[in-house]
With several copies, the nearest count.
Chain A
């Protein structure tokens, strides 16, 4: 069994972004997806700090300190991009105008609850940013997350242990091992990496998994 790398996970998630979609990429792993938009598709990336039409990172010498993404990294604007204030940025989020929010997670529950804002570590002050707004507002919430923690504990659980970002919001989960859909019947495995079977994946997952009849091998190029 060969798990996907983080860049491969981002590549896989990017394949599902449809031409013309308005998409918000969460801080961290999801941000990588913008590097892997399939040729010929126009995706409009939204940033909660007032940008539609974010482009790639600037080339050396073309950085503008007034142009950053939600993760506070320097970014660029593509032709057709626009600027607006924070309140309009969140009107877009909360009002259901974004097609997809691709978010990171600590945990996802069987019912699609998302926990991605605090581990309640007393050493760190909590911070929520725009996570809760994105989780309730985007038309479809997808999550990019390693299948387990570093010490092997499942991140896809019967119910979340960490405080929720929003209940019942996640539709699809991309992990380094599988692509999973949250459905009324439970969590359905759409794709698994080669060398893994349902029992093997279930052993790394607390939530009960259902294997789709038409499940596929999860593959990604070396990116």
Chain B
């Protein structure tokens, strides 16, 4: 029987090791798996590379991991979102490495990681500072840069409803990076509002099929 439910947040994040690359979902605080990120901090794990859109908001979740010095490097598109004081303090103190990636490129690099794409050409960042050092190619008269896939050792996600197979639905704009990051990691852990019976999610409306999900926990 397939049963991806785990009972505790600690079980949910078990096994994520020092130095791991962790995809941290959410757009600002919306869709952010705050409780999973807090539980990850409680494991004592260190030297993380976190991939996220922002760099934490307030003091919980990703911000808490950064505040407690657990994040060696953050790969994100826009670190300064609402109340980024944890990140700003770490950045000014030189305690965190920052890699800025355009939001669409960040998203597409994770999709490539999920889809077995070894690399891809996009126009985004061509001819800019963020495109420097990247392989370029002229395609049909326009300049493209080669981008490489990103995969996580783990992805921490948040959804609305799940069944025991790990099928997921989301609410409104809280979907954001969740379906994408869920596909792009070796271990995908999802906190959900509610777990429902197998077969009660509409098969036409599941946004993340369970094949991408390893563990679900209610939080």
Contact = CB atoms under 8 A, between A and B. Distances in A.
Partners in one complex: yes
Interface of A: 19-20, 22, 40, 42, 44, 46-53, 64-68, 72, 77, 79-98, 118, 124-133, 136-137, 163-167
Nearest to B206: A82
Contact of B2 (A20, A96, A167): A20
Nearest to B105: A133
B20 interface: no
Contact of B80 (A84, A98, A124, A165): A124
A165 B82 CA distance: 23
A49 to B, nearest CB: 5
A39 B91 CA distance: 47
Contact of B77 (A42, A64, A130): A130
Contacts of A79: 198-199
Given A66-B173, A79-B198, A80-B163, A94 B27 contact: no
Contacts of B123: 94, 136-137, 166
The contact size tier of chain B is 35 or more
Interface centre among A89, A95, A130 (most CB of B within 10 A): A95
Given A67-B173, A68-B28, A95 B114 contact: yes
Interface in B98-136: 98, 100-105, 107-108, 110-111, 113-117, 122-130
A68 B176 CA distance: 11
Given A80-B163, A90-B107, A164 B2 contact: no
Contact of A19 (B2, B31, B111, B209): B2
A66 B174 contact: yes
Interface stretch (B7-15, B40-48, B177-185): B177-185
A194 to B, nearest CB: 35
A80 B77 contact: no
26 contacts: A66-B31, A66-B171, A66-B174, A72-B28, A80-B198, A82-B203, A82-B210, A83-B172, A85-B178, A91-B114, A94-B104, A94-B122, A95-B115, A97-B211, A97-B212, A124-B80, A128-B103, A130-B102, A130-B104, A132-B125, A132-B128, A136-B123, A163-B129, A165-B128, A166-B123, A166-B127
Given A68-B173, A91-B114, A52 B211 contact: yes
Contacts of B198: 79-80
B172 A77 contact: yes
Contacts of B55: 125
Contact of A80 (B81, B117, B165): B165
Given A85-B180, A93-B104, 19 more contacts: A46-B211, A52-B211, A65-B30, A67-B173, A68-B173, A83-B204, A87-B179, A88-B209, A94-B115, A96-B116, A125-B88, A126-B98, A128-B102, A129-B78, A129-B103, A133-B124, A137-B116, A166-B124, A166-B128
Interface string B170-202: 111111111110010000000000000011010
A98 B104 CA distance: 14
Contacts of B100: 126-128
Interface string B39-70: 00000000000000101000000000000000
Interface of B: 1-2, 27-28, 30-31, 53, 55, 76-82, 87-88, 91, 98, 100-105, 107-108, 110-111, 113-117, 122-130, 163-165, 167, 170-180, 183, 198-199, 201, 203-204, 206-207, 209-212
A136 B126 contact: yes
B103 A133 contact: yes
B63 to A, nearest CB: 14
Contacts of B212: 97
A80 B72 CA distance: 39
Contact of A87 (B80, B111, B116, B211): B111
B128 A86 contact: no
A183 B113 CA distance: 28
A83 B175 contact: yes
B108 A87 contact: yes
Contacts of A92: 209, 211
